[in-house]
Amino acid sequence: MLRDRVGGSGVWRTSLAWRAASPHACPRTYPGAVKRIWATWILSVSVALLVLAVWLYTRSSTVVTVDANAWEAVSAVGTVGATLVALGLALDAWHQRKDAVARLVSAWVTEEYTPRRDRRAYQRKVTLHVANEGDQPVFDAQVSVILGTHDTPVGPLTAPSPIAVVPPRRALTFDLSVALLAHEDSYKPRAEVSFLDPRRRRWVRDGSGILQRVTKNPKWETLSGTEHERQIGGVTLNNPMVVALAFLGGLRDEDSPDVAALEALLAPEAEGWRSIDWAELREAFRRYQPTSMVDYPAPYIARVKLSGDPSLEGKVVAGYGHMQLKDWRFLTLTYVPERGWRVFGVGASVPPEAILFPDGAFPQDG
């Protein structure tokens, strides 16, 4: 059973996690390349048979007498071979047309290091790109960023989930720099993207760039504890999931909420905390557990989704597509570099335009 340590309460609680399938979750195939290899092979055999037929014909007048039936057999084989080559090339062209839109959709991550304003160190900027170089839009794009030496999927991060439309000949960009501070092993970041083409067929281009057609629906399955820990990230105030777990632990501590511990985790810019009824909030959130994926509607805003369905504890979504939760709540957190993440709101998701930050929260670039 998958378990999380929640704050300092000493209580172990199961949790719900979501992940996109690993790039290694299913075998990789190259259907177009395989068909071209077969077509080349058949063409080579046909050419060899044709050369043999010509040789037999030239030799028939001098040394070898070729039976008419043998000559007809060789000619028939050559004709069949040529027909198979034509059929193979036609089939390959059909496959090329079928995935013409999907082949031009991709996602990748770039890193850039620039000097800080004080010129004493470099700062890292990480950007997610989602591009459609075709002439038709694609829809319902779902991105998952993959990190580190273990190919750990950490979800869409700052990309919307889903991206409703990726317009033709457009590249969308999303800043991942703050989101990746939560993960110590963020080596070699890359991305996979699944999407629907205009004919409503789902495709996925994995983190290695391989394009595949998706024919199976997503399903719930159990996630290993080690992978879940990697998805959560490091124990730091730069990790919104760690702050969310500490908040829930303080809320459920012993017989009553640990108000002193909770106040240290709150964003003071949210005025509603002054009148909160902690006992009532504790009861309202008693059965809700966090998912392991954090989404970022803006670079300095994070949302942790809480599931209220006990039957899904310890389960993850495997595959591509949508699996909707029937009962959920949100923790909304804000980030200020000098203090890390703090809880701004609980319950419904707080829209970015309704969130206040202290003066100077957003540092100057460069």
* Residue 365 maps to a domain: no
205 and 255 inside one domain: no
Same-domain pairing of 243 and 330: yes
In a domain, 24, yes or no: no
The mean pLDDT value for 300-328 works out to 79
Which of 79, 98, 117 delimits the end of a domain?
A: 98
Q: Which DSSP string corresponds to 186-233?
A: --S-EEEEEEE-TTS-EEEE-TTS-EEE--SPPEEEEPPHHHHHHHH-
Average pLDDT for 297-315: 84
Is the predicted pLDDT of residue 226 greater than 90, yes or no? no
With respect to residue 361, please indicate whether it lies within any of the assigned structural domains.
no
Say whether pLDDT at 322 is over 80.
no
In a domain, 277, yes or no: yes
Phi/psi at 77 (5° precision)? -60, -40
Q: In this predicted model, which residue has the larger pLDDT, 221 or 84?
A: 221
The pLDDT of residue 33 is 52
Q: Are residues 111 and 75 in the same domain?
A: no
Q: Is the distance from CB of 333 to CB of 240 less than 8 angstroms?
A: yes
Residues 293 and 349 in one domain: yes
Q: Are residues 184 and 111 in the same domain?
A: yes
> Is 292 a domain residue?
yes
Q: Do 40 and 134 belong together in one domain?
A: no
Judgement on whether residues 232 and 334 belong to the same structural domain of the protein: yes
Q: How far apart are CA 286 and CA 309, in angstroms?
A: 12
Name the CA radius of gyration of the chain, rounded: 29
Q: What does the block give as tokens for 115?
A: 């000097």
Please give the Cα distance from 290 to 59 (Å, whole number).
82
Give me the number of domains the chain comprises.
Answer: 3
- Do 89 and 140 lie in one domain? The reply is no
Q: What average pLDDT is seen over the chain?
A: 78
Q: Does residue 108 surpass a pLDDT of 90?
A: yes
- Strand, coil or helix: 111: strand
Is residue 47 domain-shared with residue 79, that is, in the same domain? yes
139 with 228, same domain? Answer: no
Residue type, 300: Y
Residue ending a domain, among 216, 242, 262, is 216
Domain encompassing residue 258 = 3-18+223-354
CB 73 within 8 A of CB 81: no
Specify whether 159 is located in the same domain as 276. Answer: no
Structure tokens at 82: 């040529």
Length of the chain: 366
Does residue 240 sit in the same domain as residue 343? Answer: yes
d(Cα 342, Cα 270) in Å, to the nearest integer?
10
pLDDT tens for each residue of 253-276: 777 788 888 899 999 999 889 888
pLDDT in tens, 25-50: 333 444 455 555 655 666 666 667 66
Q: Which of 46, 80, 98 is the last residue of a domain?
A: 98
Answer yes or no: is 363 within a domain.
no
CATH of the domain at 238: 3.10.450
Whole-number pLDDT of residue 24: 36
Mean pLDDT, residues 165-169 taken together = 96
DSSP structural state of residue 99: T
pLDDT in tens, 328-356: 899 999 999 999 999 999 998 899 999 99
Flag whether 94 is in a domain.
yes
- The domain spanning residue 120 has which CATH number? 2.60.40
For residue 360, tell me if it sits in a domain: no
Residue 7 has pLDDT above 50, yes or no: no
pTM for this prediction: 0.70
